[in-house]
Structure 1
Amino acid sequence: MPPQSQNKPHLDPKSGAPPEEAPPSSIARFVLAHSGDHHALSSRLSRHFSNSPWPPIIVDRVLKLLWNDGPRALLFFRSLLLLPSFRPAASSLDHAVDLAARLRDRRAIRFFLSLRSRLALPPSPRTFAILFERHTAAGNPDRAVRAFLSMHHQGCPQDLSSFNTLIDTLCKSSRVQKASSLLNVFQNRFPPDVVTYNIIADGWCRVKRTSKALEVLRQMVDSGIQPTKSTYNILLKGFFRAGQVKEAMGFFKQMKKRGKRDNPGDFECRPDVVSYTTMVHGLGLNGQLEKARKLLDEMVSEGCLPSVPTYNALIQVICKKGCVKDAILLFDEMVRKGYTPNSITYNLVIRGLCHAGKMDEAMEFLDRMKLDKCEPNVQTFNILLRYWLEEGEFEKGMELFSRMGEEEACLPNLDTYNVIISAMFVRRRPEDMLLAGKMVMEMVERGHLPRKFVFNRVLNGLLITGNQDFVKELLRMQEKHKRLNRSSRIQL
């Protein structure tokens, strides 16, 4: 088995202790070490913990820690449902629906939705927002629309807010034309507000059609709705997305000019921290680092304090266009000024160090991250893992992979497995193909679907290197896990 599976983490909590006394990470390891079904796990949980209720905050945290092992997360939740003292909270049920939808488990989705009804916890707008997103991500936006139309049958009234959530989901998946069509159909039933128009404008900006976004702005004004600061920031970002740097700079200057007028309606044009952050990032990506840095100083003089995302934006472009040493100097500057770097900040610097070939310094930054009480996430490990493997340091890469689940309580995601599998095809040794096959098996067991290309590539690699028996094992796994048939779709 892969290194991560050789020594499974073990938990031996105090017998009879209430659940809130055990760290969520320990409970997650406890679940990962379990080898039986949910009845057996429920029995073990009841032996190790008292009959006191499981706090929703603990349940939700454990589910999030197990997120990248969907089957185990649902195993844990189903085992809790068997405990007499357990009553699931609405937030936990939403997590369960989300996990089941990601796994495209139609039966589980229906079970959790019916459970909500039995517990007098009808699906909330949040529940349907999850379904909209999952249906759309599965390539079936029409089913997301049908889910919206069925809301009232499930005890959740339809309103403008839920409609906005639906079209936002569609726009973020580049289906802005469909979202616009729905707006035309339902505008009498759900008269659009400023949020609606902003969503559609952002959708057009995402597909780099700023002219259509400007049309939305005109429609908004014509309908008597005053644009907000968010509206202007959406358009500003849209210009940069479309590569219209001159237009973005001109629009920003207009914002500043109009924002200084005494007219109350023009106040919304005044650039805020989001506007400046957008400009810093956009100019930096365009190679204008000096202008981007000057904007950071200018915004302070204008009485607009930078935020952590502002520093993150500049650090990112410096790493991409400049020198990682300068990015670290900026990192230290923000710390001196009292800002607390987040995981995004650390990941940007770590990526910059890796890209510069400074792997040892990147690992030192990983240690610094932990010392600063900023927990590494799966993206952190994926960055380091990718570069170690690209450097040909397979042992160091796989050692880092082992650390993820054992020491850091950070389960690998689909990207993690794809990075490792791709690296195994560099040398094409029989043992490398064997490891690639084991990675496919592990990722499927954890609820991740390999792309058809990846699955077939591994099969061919195993055949070429003489691992025919393993090929048969993978084919049996494919037959067992019907989810490998990518034509399956979740339904409601």
Structure 2
Amino acid sequence: MNQISFHAIKIFISSPVGLVEMITPMHRFRSSAHKVFVRMLSSSTENLPGLVDPTDKVCEIMASPSSPGLELLLDQSGLRVPPESAETVLKRFENAGMLAYRFFLWAQKQRNFSHSVNTYHTMIGSLAKIRQYRIMWDLVAAMQRGRLLNVETFCIIMRRYARAKKVEETIYTFNIMDKYGVSPNLAAFNGLLGALCKSKNVRKAQQVFDQMSYQFEPDAKSYSILLEGWGRAPDLPKMREVYRGMVNKGCEPDIVTYGIMVDALCKAGRTEEAVDLVQEMSSRGCPPTSFIYSALVYAYGVEKKIENAVSAFLAMERSGIKPDVVVYNALIKAFCLVDKYENAFRVEEDMMEKGISPDSRTYNIILTSMISAGQTKEAYNVFRTMIKRRDCEPDSDTYTMMIKMFFKTDKPEKALKVWKYMKLKQFVPTMHIFAVLINGLCEKGEVDQACMLFEDMIEKGIRPSGSTFGKLRHLLLKEGREDVLKFLVGKINDLVEEPADN
């Protein structure tokens, strides 16, 4: 097989019916004229600063199938990208690590251009997500030369290493801060504890705390991080032990501390104990927040005690606490758990009447419940409602569950329409979205489309999981298409050959 892109043999996927309005001939004419006008302006952006924002045009170029010629396309566009636009572009494409990195390198070659600290941080997080650690450390060295390093830089790296289950590398990052001219302080220490706890390494975090607490005097945040870690474990006796140690050290618990403990007790099914703790808070002059009430509402919902959930919500309002989207989401979840969707939608209406916009999690809660209950048609209608709203865009979880739902209900054409809609919205897919789509296509025997998406995934710098590649490999071998398999293996090797470890 010739070394050509699968984009050249891409199968046409029609625009999603009901998701995108049909474009009229007059609209197409206006769109073409507009594009010509934008090109005319963008070529002289340097002479007319501020007249044209290049962000959307750059994103359009990066989302195009011609990513191998990305740098050439950017050069030919005549665009000059200011640092604030580069920051926005990289934020949008942080799921496409190597593609984002190519833009990062192109942008910094512009005359009189310097990336901001935030841009470096976004790029470091993006590269670490796909385990391109040596390139990540090259950027750290560049930040050092530019005197841009700070504690947050190392906290980002610690979080990424911890999520990848690289515990030793997480601690190593903390220990070498001094070598880069950044002195580790209490914020860095808390960053290390937080990275370990959030990646379910609370025992290691406790060990680090016990060994290093003499260097850094722990504050309420240090203890709260450990409390949250043990609460998620869950290990309530150990959580209570840390709490006692905190009080004995003279470190007064704050509202965050109480919130963590109430949340942990609720999730462990100890709702009554959580209620007692809320009463203790009030007696100590530390009134509960909407987050604490949301934990109670959620707990009662899980227990399917819907009356208690509603009572907790009303008690919060009576106490003068204004509900936020988090507590509303908890109440919606409670109604969904008992299949009372009409009530859930009434809660959503109440939110909007009070000026609180639903977020993607609001809809994801409803979608998850409906899909689990087999109400796929109703779920699709909720999704359609969601995308019509301008203030609530679907997120990666939304797209993942919708694509998965359509494959499970033997409607691959609708899964592909959701994918097409994502592309029209310039939403950069995550590895999980790619995996769900590729796996679904493999199960349907759609090997050409699966290969096309697999290549697209690699070109965006997203490293495929072993299981996803295994399914595609099995299908290709079954069809006797070793040449295609060899082509894709070469693509993977090109990506992996980029230095991946420090």
Output the TM-score relative to the length of structure 2.
Answer: 0.86
Cα pair distance change 1:119/1:39, threshold 3 Å: farther
Q: Determine the structure 1 residue equivalent to 2:363.
A: 346
* Aligned positions of 1:451-466 closer than 5 A: 451-466=465-480
**Residues 5 and 376 of structure 1: CA distance in aligned 2, closer, same or farther (over 3 Å):** farther
2:179 matches 1:153: yes
Q: Indicate yes or no: 2:76 matched with 1:44.
A: yes
Q: Deviations over 1:3-50 (max 9, x none)?
A: 98969x9975422124772263332112333545675356335x234x
8 Å CA contact retained: 2:224, 2:256: yes
* 1:78 counterpart residue number: 105
Alpha-carbon distance change, 465 to 318 in structure 1, aligned in 2, over 3 angstroms: farther
- Work out the CA distance in 2 between the residues paired with 1:372 and 1:35: 29
Greater relative contact order (Cα < 8 A, sep 6+): 2
- Counterpart of 2:485 in structure 1 is 471
**Is 2:297–2:312's contact at 8 Å kept on the other side of the alignment?**
yes
CA-based RMSD of the aligned residues comes to: 2.7
**Matches of 2:462 and 2:492 in 1, distance apart?**
13
The correspondence for 1:240, drawn from 243, 266, 274, is 266
Q: Distance in 2 between matches of 1:459 and 1:76?
A: 31
CA distance in 2, matches of 1:372, 1:101: 32
The aligned residue for residue 388 of structure 1 is: 406
* Contact 2:98/2:462, CA 8 A, preserved across alignment: no
Instruction: Give the structure 2 partner of residue 251 of structure 1.
Output: 274
2:460 pairs, out of 435, 446, 449, with 446
The separation in 2 between residues aligned to 1:248 and 1:241, in whole angstroms, is 8
Q: Shift of residue 353 of structure 1?
A: 4.5
Are 1:369 and 1:376, in contact at CA under 8 Å, matched by a contact in 2?
yes
Structure 1: gaps spanning 5 or more residues:
none
Counterpart of 2:501 in structure 1 is: 490
The residue type equivalent to 1:191 in the other structure is: E
The structure-2 alpha-carbon separation of the partners of 1:216 and 1:274, relative to structure 1 and needing over 3 Å to count, comes to same
1:32 alignment partner in structure 2: 63
> 1:216-261: CA deviations, max 9, x gaps?
000011111111122122112112333xx2x3323313422x3444
Contact 2:447 2:476 in 1 (8 A): yes
Shift of 1:382: 2.0
CA distance in 1, matches of 2:380, 2:206: 45
Q: Structure 1 residue 133 and structure 2 residue 159: aligned?
A: yes
Aligned-residue offset at 1:421 = 2.5
Consecutive unaligned residues in structure 2, runs of 5 or more? 1-5, 14-30
In 2, the alpha carbon distance for the partners of 1:99 and 1:259 equals: 40
Q: Distance in 2 between matches of 1:489 and 1:210?
A: 39
Q: Distance in 2 between matches of 1:198 and 1:435?
A: 48
Identity of aligned residues (%): 23
Aligned twin of 2:325: 308
1:91 paired to 2:114 = no
Instruction: For residue 425 of structure 1, report the CA deviation from its aligned partner.
Output: 4.4
Deviation track 1:425-445 (CA, whole Å, cap 9, x = no partner) reads 444x3xx23333333322222
Aligned length: 468
Q: Bigger CA drift: 378-387 or 293-302?
A: 378-387
- 1:16 counterpart (23, 39, 44): 44
For residues 311-339 of structure 1, give each alpha carbon's deviation from its aligned partner in whole angstroms, at most 9, with x where no partner exists: 11121232233232321121112112222
Are 1:399 and 2:417 an aligned pair?
yes
1:118 maps to 145
Tell whether the 8 Å contact from 1:39 to 1:82 is kept in structure 2 after alignment. Answer: no
Superposed displacement of residue 290, structure 1 = 1.9
1-structure distance, mates of 2:380, 2:224: 40
Q: TM-score, normalised by structure 1?
A: 0.87
The answer (yes or no) to whether the contact 2:177–2:183 under 8 Å persists in 1 is: yes
Relative to structure 1, the CA distance from residue 310 to residue 200 in structure 2 (aligned partners, 3 Å threshold; closer, same or farther) is same
For the structure 1 residues 489 and 183, does the alpha-carbon distance in structure 2 shift closer, same or farther, using more than 3 Å as the test? farther
